[in-house]
Chains A and B, each alone.
Chain A
Amino acid sequence: MTVSNWKVDYIGFVLPALIFTAWYLVTLEGGVPAYLIPSPSNLVRVAVDFATGHANLTPYAGTLLVHTLASVQRVAMGFGLAVAVGLPLGFLTGRISLAKSSLDSTVHLIRIIPGIGWLPIAMVWFGVGENTTLFLISLAAFFPIYVNAAQGASSVPPLLIRAGRMLGANKLTIFTTVIIPASLPSTLAGLRLGLGISWAYLVLGELTGVTYGLGAVMMDARMLGHAEMILVSMIFIGLFGRISDMILVGSFKRLDLLREENKE
């Protein structure tokens, strides 16, 4: 098992290496000009400077931390709100037919509207910046969380519920000791989708105009003609998105909630 994992890892490096090489080649002397595509080495220097501020290469030198904190905070709040509303509603819809019939079709109707389509009205309601960003993140992350929690809760094998009942669980304890753990894999899938979408809508919201945040840096850098900073911000957003996903999955593993997934 370990051996094949390693093989997969090597193969996983091939494509990035090719992209990297191609990138390097097009930025060589006489290739694409640096204001469109900066060279890899320049990008790395700017990225390090963005984090440490040691060389003052751009107006953003040394500001990574404040922008990251602002963005992470927005994601955490928006995603947190989506979880707080989406999970309970999803579980209810999955298990209680009254909740399903009164809620589900409306939710799916709203879901059809692309999240981006909410941007103009959100700006009318919440103004540009902070609250619009939170609104967009929560709204967009809500749907996958809700849908997957409902799906997981509704497909719990009825025999498991009977087993819990005959062992003395009442309707409420069935919910906490059977329904929730049995639907965890599906729930986690929804949470991961929701978290990924949160980062996407973070950028969309921040582009509307906030002072701090990685999306703000991107927008600002575009106006000041720092293509390399746009790319650096994109890379950091990707990196933090990935890290947050690993933290989410890791915390589920840590809580030993994913036994089924580890089936031999």
Chain B
Amino acid sequence: MKVMQRTNLSAEGINKSFSRPGEHDSLKVLEDIRFEIREGEFVSILGPSGCGKSTFLNILAGFEPADSGHAACCGERIREPSPERAVVFQSPVLFPWLSVKDNILYGLKLRKNGRNEAEEIASEYIRAVGLDGFWDYYPSQLSGGMQQRAALARALVLRPKVLLMDEPFAALDAQTRYSMQQLLLGLWENYRHTVVFITHDVEEALLMSDRICIMSKRPGRIIEEITVPFERPRQLSLTGTQEFSMLKGHIFGRLMD
């Protein structure tokens, strides 16, 4: 069924160290990261806290340079942030002085879309994330989950090739997180953007992704890649099956190594 498409995002031999406050040597955070993701693929990155997941995502986003190695998107070297690689952060990071609508229009306006066209596109995505009726609300007037929906719409409205997500649902309660996961999957089925999804949550990774990359403790390396074998759409009941628990147990084991 699945058509294997072109490589969309790739990283080769990425190394990254940070200087340590008050010490002479530096802290090695990423070591020789190799990573590849095909167009439309949904890949999760799992790893112990502090292993460098966010650092890696920041390099893919173009927020920070790697010390060495090579990261590319659609064959072009990543040098700076671009709407091709939209980011959803752990916190919504909406512009508090703009309404939901203007937050979502922000990127479209920079693109110089015509006002009417932009509003039409924006309203499509506002509806897609279930925020119609909240156009004129300001971020401070929304719940955390709604803010994250707006952040998702703000990223998707630019039709990015890649969606980079850094524990986007970690701050939400269990029910909201579940509905956000469903929402994200629905949008992904629809728009088929590539997703890099960082999470702490093994079940979340198994329910959402095509493939899971497991990172080691710092300095982070990718120590295993698992192709998730379950058919989509995946029901919550899947978590009760033996295959699911075995895979989950295996991943937990690797994270503890």
| Partner-B contacts on A (CB < 8 A) | 157, 159-160, 162-169, 173, 177-178, 181-182, 184, 257, 259-260, 262-264
User: Are A165 and B140 in contact, with the CB atoms below 8 A?
Assistant: no
With A168-B107, A173-B110 as contacts: A163 and B95 at CB distance below 8 Å:
yes
Taking a contact as CB atoms under 8 Å apart, the answer to whether A159 and B91 are in contact is yes
- From A168, A178, A259, B158 is in contact (CB under 8 Å) with A168
B229 at the interface (CB under 8 A from A): no
Among candidates B63, B91, B158, residue contacting A165 with C-beta atoms closer than 8 Å: B63
Asked if A166 contacts B85 (CB within 8 A), the reply is: yes
Query: Which of B8-16, B75-83, B235-243 is found at the contact surface with chain A?
Result: B75-83
Task: Name the CB-closest residue of A to B92.
Answer: A163
What residues on B are CB-neighbors of A165 within 8 Å? 62-63, 80-81
Q: CA separation between A264 and B96, bound complex, in Å?
A: 12
A164, B107: Cα distance in complex, Å: 8
Knowing A165-B63, A168-B107, A264-B140 are in contact, say whether A178-B95 is a contact too (CB < 8 A).
yes
Assess the B107–A167 pair: CB atoms within 8 A: yes
Within 8 Å of chain A (Cβ to Cβ): is B188? no
A177 near B83: Cβ-Cβ < 8 Å: no
Which chain B residues numbered 50 to 77 have a C-beta less than 8 Å away from chain A? Answer: 61-63
Nearest to A181 among chain B residues (CB) is B97
**B89 lies within 8 A of A159 (CB):** yes
Query: Do A162 and B63 form a contact, CB below 8 Å, given A168-B82, A257-B97, A259-B97?
Result: yes
Q: What is the CA–CA distance of A166 and B160 in the complex, to the nearest angstrom? A: 10
Q: Measured between C-beta atoms, what is the minimum distance from B78 to chain A in Å?
A: 12
- Contacting A at CB under 8 A, from B22-59, are none
Bound CA–CA A213/B91 (angstroms): 54
In the complex formed, the residue of A with least CB distance to B157 is A167
In Å, the complex CA distance between A173 and B83 comes to 14
User: Is A163 a contact of B93 with CB atoms below 8 Å?
Assistant: yes
In the A-B complex, the 4 residue pairs with the closest CB atoms = A167-B107, A165-B81, A166-B81, A168-B83
Q: Bound state CA distance, A166 and B107, in angstroms?
A: 9
Provide a sorted-by-A list of 25 A–B residue pairs whose CB atoms are within 8 angstroms: A159-B91, A159-B93, A160-B93, A162-B81, A164-B95, A165-B62, A165-B63, A166-B62, A166-B81, A166-B86, A167-B83, A167-B86, A167-B106, A167-B107, A167-B110, A167-B155, A167-B158, A182-B97, A259-B96, A259-B98, A259-B138, A260-B96, A260-B97, A263-B140, A264-B140
B154 at interface (Cβ–Cβ under 8 A)?
A: yes
> Is A184 in contact with B97, judged by CB distance below 8 angstroms?
yes
Nearest residue, chain A, Cβ from B86: A166
Contact check, A168 vs B111: say whether CB atoms are below 8 A apart: yes
Cα A160 to Cα B93 in complex, Å, equals 6
Question: Which residues on A sit within 8 Å (CB–CB) of B61?
Answer: 162, 166
| Minimum C-beta distance from B114 to chain A (A) | 16
User: When the two chains form the complex, which single residue of B63, B95, B107, B154 contacts A181, counting CB atoms closer than 8 Å?
Assistant: B95
Chain B: interface residue total (CB-CB under 8 A): 28
CB closest chain-B residue, reference A163: B93
How many A-B Cβ pairs are below 8 Å?
A: 71
Report the separation of the CA atoms of residues A159 and B166 in the bound assembly, to the nearest whole angstrom.
Answer: 13
Q: Considering the chains assembled together, what is the distance between the CA atoms of A79 and B2 in angstroms?
A: 67
Which residue of B has the minimal Cβ distance to A259?
B97
Write out the residue numbers on chain B whose beta carbons fall within 8 Å of the beta carbon of A181.
95, 97-98
Q: Which residues of B contact A182 (CB under 8 A)?
A: 95, 97
- Asked whether any CB of chain A lies closer than 8 Å to the CB of B205, the reply is no
Question: In the docked arrangement, what's the CA distance between A157 and B155, Å?
Answer: 19
Closest A residue to B106 by CB, please name it.
Answer: A167
Distance A181 CA – B95 CA, assembled complex (angstroms): 9
Q: How far is the CB of A152 from chain B (nearest CB, A)?
A: 13
User: Closest chain B residue to A159 by CB distance?
Assistant: B93
**Given known contacts A173-B110, A264-B141, is B83 in contact with A166 (CB within 8 Å)?**
yes
State in angstroms the CA–CA spacing of A157 and B63 once bound together. 14
User: What CA separation (Å) do A173 and B81 show in the bound complex?
Assistant: 14
The CA of A95 and the CA of B47, in the complex, are separated in Å by 35
> Do A160 and B95 touch (CB < 8 A)?
yes
Complex CA gap A169/B109 in Å reads: 10
Q: In the complex, how many angstroms separate the beta carbon of A140 from the nearest chain B beta carbon? A: 30
Residues from chain A with Cβ under 8 Å of B86 in the complex? 166-167
Of chain B, the residue at the smallest CB distance from A258 is: B97
B154: contacting residue among A157, A160, A162, A167, CB under 8 A? A167
- From residue B87, how far is it (CB to closest CB) to chain A in Å? 5
- The answer to whether A169 and B110 touch across the interface, beta carbons within 8 angstroms, is yes
A264-B111 Cα distance, complex, nearest whole Å: 32
User: With A and B bound together, what is the CA distance between A182 and B110 in angstroms?
Assistant: 18
Q: Which residues of A contact B80 (CB under 8 A)?
A: 165
Chain A residues within 8 Å of B97, by CB: 181-182, 184, 257, 259-260
What residues on A are CB-neighbors of B91 within 8 Å? 159
